[in-house]
Chain A
Amino acid sequence: MIRILRWSALTVAAGIAACSGKAELDPAQQSGAAPDLPAARNFLLPPMQVPDKAGWKEGQTPKVAEGLRIEKIAGDLMHPRQLYTLPNGDVLVVESNSPGSEAVTTPKQLIAGKIKNLSGKGAKGGDRVTLLRRNAMGSWDKHVFLEHLHSPFGVQLIGDAIYVANTDAIRKYPYQSGATEISDPGVEFADLPGTVNHHWTKALLASPDGTKLYVGVGSNSNVGENGLEVEYRRAVVLEVDVASRGSRIYASGIRNPTGLGWEPVTGKLWAIANERDEIGADLVPDYLTSVQDGAFYGWPYSYYGANVDERVYPQRPDLVAKAVKPDYALGSHVAALGVLFSDHNALPEKYQGGAFVAEHGSWDRSPLSGYAVVHVAFTDGKPVGAPQTLVSAFYSDDEKHLFGAPVGLAQDKDGALLVADDVGDVVWRVSKL
């Protein structure tokens, strides 16, 4: 009797464990224009590995590649997510996290939410912008620049106005060069999709001529499990006309476009995007892609062109046929959250041109992937080769403890690379040794 009960318990445990597959592909094998894509699997328990938040010890820093040095320029921030350099060299730090407005509607959300929060990625955001200014001594002073925001992410300056993308609206504030504080309440400039906010970040990028704002709006689910009716204007890049404040869908089917940038050689709009989870440790690679006007990139119906996702009902072969393949895979589950195109900077020669990408790091993969800042080289406006890691060691060697996680990127006035770290609550500065 007891033996049979024990056997039953073991069968259940083994059956569930056997279904959580470890990654078999190297992240480098899943980068570039044609990543290896294994067959999709459904799991009883998806691959999951989340290091516990440890934070940085005094004097401890991430590791940088040869020829580089790293220093902490600001600490004790409240979940710093995005960075933006103003023309006078001041650096804005957007301190933010999810508005927490997504209802718990499944048992999985209840459990997964608790597990993911162990890493410190769920810590409360500051809902404010801090300004960093380098003083004569070479260190950086902190000023509270803008407060009472609502899960802000993107920030852009056009002329004498600062645009902040809250999770539900773009707000516009007057700005004078040299200001260290904005007390004006600002105005709501344009409405953004703000229901549910499963993916809450709204990346923001102004066109070089200042006539348009591009907004990255993430999906309201992993793959449509909250119903397709909540995906209106979701998983898209919106184009907002600055003069009229009207907006349209510029490109769609991009699951979570977390960062936007202008490729300097071609002048084309590019985006980083986070792809879907729970069909394998090696699926689906996050990507860096040019964003074509009017194009559809597959989500939720397919990925990398015509790779159909069978979890969506009803299926849409008509849309799958239209799906554009992204240009460049970054690796599965790396969670790219920051992108910076840099034509000229003060880093060594190999980092001139191309794009820096901050990878916030995986939860749906074992071993861990991401948790690094990488550089993707470009030739003639197209990415080439494998991503090269610049900044790493955000977690302990045994993958159990998490010190920090890179998010937003910016280049300061002197051409150094700035990295926001929302687990360590730090801004790092990477420069030439």
Chain B
Amino acid sequence: MASTSMSRRFAFAVYGLLNPIPFGMFVAALIFDITYLRTGEVLWNKAAAWLIPLALIFAIIPRFINLGMVWANRRVIVSGVDKLDFWLNLVAVIVAIFNAFVHSRDAYASMPTGVWLSAVTVALLALGNVLIAARASAEARP
């Protein structure tokens, strides 16, 4: 029992460490996409093309931990917000996978599809983050 508790804590710690990274990268990719859309300066296109697959790689471990926390957790009652956050993240990852391929196109061929997909990815993740934060603040109320 004690070891399970330890591994749970470890999983939560790893989740807390890695989960914010993809979101930040997707936000940066969106900013670079908008910059490229407006300027045509290829640096920004290439920067976004790196950020999206890197964000996806960083997302692998926290997404699997989240999968376990939401769907295989028999000790805590999982709320609807947690489940919604899981689905928002899943859709965001699928959209980002398509976006990584769109960003492998040469020059302006990644636009405007790439910027739309980046915006959708960020919006989905942001909504999940806001819902989780709102619940946390509601629970913290005396």
Contacts and interface: CB of A to CB of B under 8 A. Distances in A.
Answer whether A and B are interacting partners: yes
Given A8-B90, A8-B94, A106-B49, A43 B40 contact: no
Interface in A265-311: 278, 310-311
B107 A312 contact: yes
B50 A107 contact: yes
Interface string A89-118: 000000000000000011110000000000
B97 interface: yes
Consensus secondary structure, chain B interface = helix
Interface stretch (B13-21, B98-106, B133-141): B98-106
A240 to B, nearest CB: 30
Consensus secondary structure, chain A interface = loop
A314 interface: yes
Interface stretch (A170-178, A219-227, A371-379): A219-227
A34 B100 CA distance: 36
Interface in B74-117: 90, 94, 97-98, 100-102, 104-109, 111
Contact of A225 (B42, B50, B90, B100): B42
A352 to B, nearest CB: 42
A11 B45 CA distance: 26
A311 B111 CA distance: 9
Given A1-B71, A225-B42, A310 B101 contact: no
B78 to A, nearest CB: 12
Contacts, number: 65
Contact of A107 (B42, B53, B94): B53
Interface in A103-157: 105-108
A108 B52 CA distance: 12
B106 A225 contact: yes
A42 B105 contact: yes
Among A225, A226, A310, find the residue whose CB has the most chain B CB atoms closer than 10 A.
A225
B46 A311 contact: no
Contacts of A210: none
Contact of A12 (B40, B97, B105): B97
A186 to B, nearest CB: 37
A348 interface: no
B122 to A, nearest CB: 19
B111 to A, nearest CB: 8
Nearest to A229: B42
A161 interface: no
A313 B40 contact: yes
Nearest to B54: A107
Interface string B23-64: 000000000000000001111011001100100000000000
Interface of A: 1, 5, 8, 11-12, 15-16, 42-45, 105-108, 221-227, 278, 310-314
14 contacts: A15-B98, A45-B101, A106-B50, A106-B104, A107-B53, A108-B49, A225-B45, A225-B107, A226-B42, A227-B41, A310-B109, A311-B106, A311-B109, A313-B108
